[in-house]
Structure 1
């Protein structure tokens, strides 16, 4: 197969010569082992985790700097541990590093579960919730180590994530949508006494715009995940063919065919595939960051602090969202791109607080 662009021939895989050999993990991937360097078993799968690490550090910094709830600082720390563990796992393909990678995903999901279900609960209920989630996390850890079956880990992680996601969507709708929050909302509402009808209408319009913005985050985040899932599925099914294509196009273009770096993990034994591959990290890293930022913004809105913080997201597709105090992002500088992208307010609109 001819290829018009400049490319270089793939070096041969050298699994026996690897610095970390032999492989002891229960999963291997479609990226060939030690073809680029003897010091990293899967160089693309390893380096794509740098996005996780960068965004994790960024999230922790923002929590400290901007005063977000401490549970999200812990969640970003777990997110950073996922990226660091995955970096070590793909570099070494050792079972202990696999556990760090996979179990940190479970623990971070449980942290987000606590953040979602503990809001506005009594101290006793928060303690019971925390104890229950901790016990469940310990059970999953021990049972997974006993089974050593990645399918169990994947199903557990998917179930926890789905519960948290749907619960967050519900909380967002009933506590922010003006037509629902008075009737069904569970978050404490500030008094509206003394506000004029135009001010109440302005608050309702603000909340409606915030809700649209949040749903945009949900849609984009899920689209990233599902797009990565499609790439991952193709990578599973056509691993041997994808490997052949990589060698035909050569380096560096073959890197674009490293499918795991775009999405998720799977048991090769359960699928009858010899090995699977690498970019889950780019798409799950970005999509997971989206979710935590969405949760931070939702928490501020539930606390009726929409006039103190702003979702700084100048471009839906070419910038990374973050929640910052409004003083860090003056209202006159907020862009207009369909939604406000800034606290639900448009330029020149007077801000009223309920």
Structure 2
């Protein structure tokens, strides 16, 4: 019996989408809350990706280059929808949507960092080449039913994006104070990503204990122990940080102060200039001069 909320059912609901067939299944119990959603928390936490994507697209409203800026945000939105559909159904074919949307989102950022200073023709040609490669890989991935190649390709793409981003920071940001803030934001993004990965693995390793604890606590407080959902939240924040940072670095705004450019809670990590009076001490007393900005 639950001690702090509603009790879990002894048996799951009859699945609206039919029996689960996906290779991957996570610690959240299937169809335990409703017959229409296999994993409720793992499905709803994908709103993190979608909301950050909407924020990024909204901020670019009215810009001449809004479409190009928004392509990575559309990619992360695709991750949110693809992952939500997968966790809602736990079907084999929807698992493909989850897997491939990760590659698509990373590819959009990769295209941005490697083409931001290209001519439009070269950018289009590189985009077509990348799209062709991903199409061939996706077909092979689905037909061969493999997962190792997908993981390797995703890792390689992330490394390429990270390496190129470091190079762009060195060339596009001259102000030492701004460069320090940019690098701090990169560190925060990395820490958030790694933390999400650790939490996901804790979810895998301690699933039996977590399931018992969730049933003891009861819903809805037990939802806090759905650690794969926290993976979605952490990676959603981390992905937004890198997408928004790449957008900043590859635009005419590169080198300007970062504060005020990012969604909550990222903007909390960034320092805002504050004004304090310039105190001048003399032998006759203390004089206050005009305020000056202190970084």
Same fold (TM over 0.5): yes
Residue 11 (structure 1) aligns with: 9
Task: Determine helix, strand or coil for the equivalent of 1:52.
Answer: helix
Quick check: 1:26–1:95 contact (8 Å CA) kept in 2?
yes
Q: TM-score, normalised by structure 1?
A: 0.70
Q: Following TM superposition, by how much is the alpha carbon of 1:126 offset from its aligned partner in structure 2, in angstroms?
A: 3.0
Quick check: 1:313–1:320 contact (8 Å CA) kept in 2?
no
Number of equivalenced pairs: 275
Task: Determine helix, strand or coil for the equivalent of 1:27.
Answer: coil
Task: Determine helix, strand or coil for the equivalent of 1:241.
Answer: helix
- Distance in 2 (CA, whole Å) between partners of 1:60 and 1:123 is 21
Residue 281 (structure 2) aligns with: none
Greater shift, 239-248 or 163-172, is seen at: 239-248
Task: Determine helix, strand or coil for the equivalent of 2:7.
Answer: coil
| 2:42 is equivalent to residue 45 of structure 1 | yes
Match of 2:260 among 287, 290, 312: 312
Aligned 1:120-269 pairs, distance under 5 A: 120-123=117-120, 125-176=122-173, 178=174, 207-262=175-230
Q: TM-score, normalised by structure 2?
A: 0.83
Question: When you count strand as a share of all residues, which structure comes out higher?
Answer: 2
Q: Following TM superposition, by how much is the alpha carbon of 1:222 offset from its aligned partner in structure 2, in angstroms?
A: 0.9
- Distance in 2 (CA, whole Å) between partners of 1:121 and 1:169 is 18
- Distance in 1 (CA, whole Å) between partners of 2:262 and 2:238 is 17
Question: 1:314 and 1:21, CA in 2 relative to 1: closer, same or farther beyond 3 A?
Answer: closer
Greater shift, 54-63 or 282-291, is seen at: 54-63
- Distance in 1 (CA, whole Å) between partners of 2:59 and 2:99 is 25
Question: 1:312 and 1:120, CA in 2 relative to 1: closer, same or farther beyond 3 A?
Answer: same
Match of 2:242 among 272, 291, 303: 291
Task: Determine helix, strand or coil for the equivalent of 1:41.
Answer: coil
The superposition leaves residues 125-166 of structure 1 with CA deviations (integer Å, 9 ceiling, x where unpaired) of 434422331222112201110222334323321221121012
Provide the aligned C-alpha RMSD in A: 2.7
* Residue ranges of structure 1 left out of the alignment (5+ in a row): 179-206, 263-279, 323-333, 338-346, 350-354
* Residue ranges of structure 2 left out of the alignment (5+ in a row): 275-290
Quick check: 1:68–1:296 contact (8 Å CA) kept in 2?
no
